[in-house]
Every structure is written in C-alpha cells, then in structure tokens.
Structure 1
C-alpha cells in the first residue's frame, strides 16, 4: 500500500516540508484547495524532491475551465518529470456559485465532460490532432501552434493521472469511467466503501470497457492516534469536529443513512446554520468516531487499517504525519507499505 502525507500550503515552508516527507519514506504528498492555491506548493515541492509523488486532493474543477487546468497540470507534470497526480473535486453548489462565481448544474455529468475535455486538449497537444471537443457544458475548438506546449516536455511519462473525489454513487461512477483513480472522502466508512463506492466504480469501469486493474483508490484517512494521552484527546476532539462538519452537509447524508444515523445530519445542519461548531462535535459519540476513524496507539493503526481496507485500496493519505515520535510512526508506515 502506498502511504502519502501532506506538505501544507505555506510557501515559505513547503520546500523543507516536502524534503522531510520524502526523507521519512512517504510515497507521495498532496495539497488541498482551502485558503490557498493548491498548485503553487507542488511546484516548490517538485523543485526540492526527486522521487516524491505530488498531487492535489483536491483542486476544485468547477472553479476553472478544462483549458486552464489542462495547462497547469501539464506544466506540473513536465516540471516534476512525471510525478504529478491531478486530483479533482466538484465542491458544492453554494461555493461554486457564491464563492467562485461559476456555473453549477448536473455535477456528475459536468465533471465527466470536464475530464473528457481536458483529455481531448492533452491529446491535441501530444498528437497534433485538431481540437474539436463539443459537449453540453464545454466546447474547445481552437488551438494554434502559439498556444500548444511542446509535446516533448512529457516524453517518457505522458499527461498526469487524473483522480476524482466523490461520495455519491453518480460522481463515483464517473470516476470509474473517465479517471485513473478515486479519492475517497474522509467522510467514508468501511461499510459505505464496500457497499456503495466499490460497486459504483466498477460500473464506471465497465462503461469504459475496463476492469479495476491498475485503477488506484486512495482510502479514507481519519486516524486518531498519538504518543501521549494529551495527543490522543486532541486528535479525537479534532476528528469529532471534522466528522460533524462533513456530516452537516446534505450531499453526504447517504453515508449516515447507511448506518441508520440519517437524523443526525439534520441536527448537525441546523447547528451549523446557528454557528454552533463546537457543539456539533459533541454529537459525534464514540460509536460514530470509531466507525469513521481508526482509533488507537500507533502500533494499532496499521493492522486495523489493513483489516478494514487492505484488500480494496492501493494507497492511503493522512491529514498530517505524527511527528512527535518519528520512530514509532515510521514503523506504522513500514507496516502499511508492506501490506
């Protein structure tokens, strides 16, 4: 199993952080699009590492056009010499319309077309074939030599792999059909992964005439651990808050419903509208915490992750490396990487 970490978004610290992650033995490092751009840190990370895979988990697709994202991904893939993975997500309607001032409609169908449009652009740049992509949401029909990157920039590795994040079965099926991998949302359980996610991915692969062979799934990443009681309590409190935040989102209600906790979503959503963020975390009891997260001392993490997901995921990412005891955490990583 591949084990990935993260390098943060502070451009002043990224180079050192990326080198530390690579030296610690992580397979890759991923950035998230939150308060800062997710791509700029990866450029610095690529400059200061040699083997570390780099990726976005996630970049918001609908905040951009297929053309702009095709350019950014191409350049990062070229500069990193084939180490870049483009991880995309849709975000939710209020953010796309009110934060990014972009269009929102039929997210699964739009995402499918977005990825296909981007691949059509890459194909034109690689082969010289005329660009003629015409879809319901995107149309790309103009490409002149002045705006075409040199195809030799990607010689030996080609365009980046495309990963897609999702929760609902429609978006998950799109990932299986048009992408190279799937990023499980942190708000995923073993039951949901096996009963909803995997079947949807398989349907998508079948649509594309492909099997699951070579398709990478990055597994859920809620881990509550630490080397002291204080660290454990802090990790548990933070994870309860994160689970509550995601649980308040209507789009993720299906995960709770599968476990018979559908009513919790309405409670969390109501509290979120009142700004009761701390109170929301108190609704996540131990049963819910242990269902979404692997909880235990460092030595217990690898066996439990392997038990839950070892036969269905190929890589796993953690929100942050546990650096207070590098030796113990290194043993966790080694155990997962050999799983």
Structure 2
C-alpha cells in the first residue's frame, strides 16, 4: 500500500519545502487541492521542487476550466514533472461552481463523464490536428484547426476521479484510473459502501479489472504523544463536517447520527467554531480520523491494507492557526518514514 501526502503551506515556497520533506520521508505521491490556491499552479511549484514522487491534483475542479484548458495544463505539468503527473478531478459542490466560478453544475455524473472523455480525446489528437466533434448533454466539444507543434510526453496521463456518492463512485470505477476518497472515511465504510460500487463500475468497462483502478483513501491524521492534543487538533474538522447536511448519511453509517445532531444544534445556536468543536465526541473523532500516538496512528493506517492501494495523509487545519497547523504537520511528517519503510 502506497503512502502519499497532501502538504500545507502558507506560501508556495513553504508548500514546496514541505513537499520535499515528504518526498525525502518516502511519500510516493504529493497531492495538492484546489480551494485557496489554483491546484495546477501549486502542482507546478511542487513538480519543480521534487524529483521522484508523483505530483497529483487532489483535486482540481473539473467544471471550472474548459476540458481543453484542463488537458493543456495536465500536458504541461506532465512535461514539467518528467512524466510524474496525476490528474485528479472532482466536481466540488454546486454552490461553489455556480456562485464562486459562475459555471453551470448540471448533472454532475454526466458532466464528469463528458469532461474526462473530452480531456482524453484532446490528448489523443492534439499533435495530429485531427478535428474533434463530440456531442454532449453537459460538455460538448468541437475543435477545428488546432495542432500542438511539439511532442507531448504522454497521452495517457492517469485520471483519478474524486467521489462520495454511489453514482460518481461507479463512474470512477468505469472510466477512471483511480478513485480519490473524502477525508472522512473508515475501513468499514470503504469495504461496505465504496468498493462494491467501484466494482460495479469496473464491470461496465470491457476488460477492466480491479487492479486497474488506484483506490486512494484520504485520511486526516493527528499525531501526538499527548492524546488530548491529538484529539483537539482534529475536533474542528469533524465538527465542520458534522454540521453539514451532506454528510449525514456518513455519520449515520457509523452509528453517530445522534451525536452529529448535537453538533448541528451547536452550529445552529451560533456558538462559534470553538463550541462546535467542543460538541464533537471522542467516539466521532476515533471513528472518522486517525488521532493519537505514533503507534496508534500507524495501526490505523495499516487498517486499510488489503482494501486501499494508496492512503493520502494530511494534517488537520480546521480551527487551527498557522503555528498549530505547522506543529501538527511536523508531527505527521516525523511519522512518515516509519509508515513508508524509509526510516534509517
């Protein structure tokens, strides 16, 4: 099972420095998200800062760029990284797409299917000048007169699809080279809710096998010899997700519906992020994150053996200031060599 890492940095320079440290500690893939930064610009910074680890967008928003722009940026990042790039795409939520980016969300599964199809077709034809004329309900593509006048490193850049719901998970299995999970997860949820849907999707693609799909589990890790500190660091993250209706089914699956409602009540009372975190129980944290001492967190990571192909580790940020985030990230980075087997 591959150990991969999603760094945090207040500046691109800091982000690149953390990526180098994670690579030195044995992380096989370094992932960058898209929210406060452009995922592709951050990926470019990490591509030039590292030498061996693959660089992935985890995730780039699929609908806020045209498929042609997404395809071009992926080709350039693959060239910049020496063939180490992984294109991770996700839908984001409807409000983010339509209000923040002023793009239609549409039917997300159809939209994602057509976007990935268009990106791949562009890669296939970009150096030949072959016209592209693809119909689509959400994302038709018509390109005439384009020819890239220089060679591309690869036309088969891996495409990973982020998914939470069953329909998008099936799509990831059917057309994706990988599936990227939400940072709220557990081995039981992966085994009972995710993998069966992935297998259904895989069965729809002729000749495709489970081994052809990289299952990437995301995990928020808080490592500290002081258990109270470890729990406190992730309480804000769990409180944030517990307050969002979208994740109700996930909490219910883990028998935490009543506890989630207590967090929702704290949110509705408007008592602030600190009180929201205080409403989060230890049981919720233990079920949905990896928090504790070094041995405990290592054991939790190992719990995905045989289920996931990769684990994407990140440190908590919700409700923490920059100094606290750095301290949490440093503690996680110190554990990485033990997880990757690169400890001297």
Look up the match of 1:66.
67
Q: What are the residue-to-residue correspondences of 1:134-149 with 2, within 5 Å?
A: 134-145=135-146, 148-149=147-148
Q: Is the Cα–Cα contact under 8 Å of residues 323 and 329 in structure 1 kept in the other structure? A: no
Q: Which whole-Å CA distance do the structure 2 matches of 1:64 and 1:270 have between them? A: 37
Q: Give the alignment partner of residue 282 of structure 1, picking from 254, 278, 289.
A: 278
Q: Which whole-Å CA distance do the structure 2 matches of 1:113 and 1:274 have between them? A: 42
- Is 2:95 the partner of 1:99? no
Structure 2 SS opposite 1:221:
strand
Q: Is the Cα–Cα contact under 8 Å of residues 123 and 155 in structure 2 kept in the other structure? A: no
Question: Aligned in 2, Cα 1:144/1:288: closer, same or farther, shift over 3 Å?
Answer: same
Measured after TM superposition, the shift of residue 161 of structure 1 is 0.8
Q: What are the residue-to-residue correspondences of 1:105-144 with 2, within 5 Å?
A: 105-125=106-126, 128-144=129-145
Structure 2 SS opposite 1:54:
strand
Look up the match of 2:209.
211
Look up the match of 2:191.
194
CA-based RMSD = 2.4
Q: Give the alignment partner of residue 259 of structure 1, picking from 235, 254, 263.
A: 254
Q: Give the alignment partner of residue 224 of structure 1, picking from 222, 236, 239.
A: 222
- Is 2:180 the partner of 1:173? no
Q: Which whole-Å CA distance do the structure 2 matches of 1:169 and 1:326 have between them? A: 33
- Is 2:8 the partner of 1:8? yes
Gaps of 5+ in 2: 316-327
Measured after TM superposition, the shift of residue 264 of structure 1 is 4.9
Measured after TM superposition, the shift of residue 271 of structure 1 is 4.4
Measured after TM superposition, the shift of residue 311 of structure 1 is 0.5
Q: Which whole-Å CA distance do the structure 2 matches of 1:325 and 1:254 have between them? A: 29
Question: Aligned in 2, Cα 1:265/1:97: closer, same or farther, shift over 3 Å?
Answer: farther
Look up the match of 1:27.
28
Q: Which whole-Å CA distance do the structure 2 matches of 1:269 and 1:114 have between them? A: 35
Q: Give the alignment partner of residue 184 of structure 1, picking from 146, 160, 181.
A: 181
Measured after TM superposition, the shift of residue 54 of structure 1 is 0.4
Deviation track 1:137-174 (CA, whole Å, cap 9, x = no partner) reads 112111323xx3346221xx433211111111111111
Measured after TM superposition, the shift of residue 186 of structure 1 is 0.7
Structure 2 SS opposite 1:277:
helix
- Is 2:246 the partner of 1:239? no
Q: Is the Cα–Cα contact under 8 Å of residues 3 and 27 in structure 1 kept in the other structure? A: yes
Question: Aligned in 2, Cα 1:268/1:135: closer, same or farther, shift over 3 Å?
Answer: farther
Q: Which whole-Å CA distance do the structure 1 matches of 2:60 and 2:333 have between them? A: 30
Measured after TM superposition, the shift of residue 127 of structure 1 is 5.2
- Is 2:77 the partner of 1:81? no
Q: Is the Cα–Cα contact under 8 Å of residues 249 and 265 in structure 1 kept in the other structure? A: no
Q: Give the alignment partner of residue 330 of structure 1, picking from 320, 334, 337.
A: 337
- Is 2:54 the partner of 1:45? no
Question: Aligned in 2, Cα 1:222/1:128: closer, same or farther, shift over 3 Å?
Answer: same
Question: Aligned in 2, Cα 1:150/1:193: closer, same or farther, shift over 3 Å?
Answer: farther
Look up the match of 2:288.
292
Q: Which whole-Å CA distance do the structure 2 matches of 1:125 and 1:40 have between them? A: 22
Q: Is the Cα–Cα contact under 8 Å of residues 175 and 205 in structure 2 kept in the other structure? A: yes
Q: Which whole-Å CA distance do the structure 1 matches of 2:25 and 2:333 have between them? A: 8
Q: Is the Cα–Cα contact under 8 Å of residues 322 and 329 in structure 1 kept in the other structure? A: no
Gaps of 5+ in 1: none
Q: Which whole-Å CA distance do the structure 2 matches of 1:265 and 1:249 have between them? A: 9
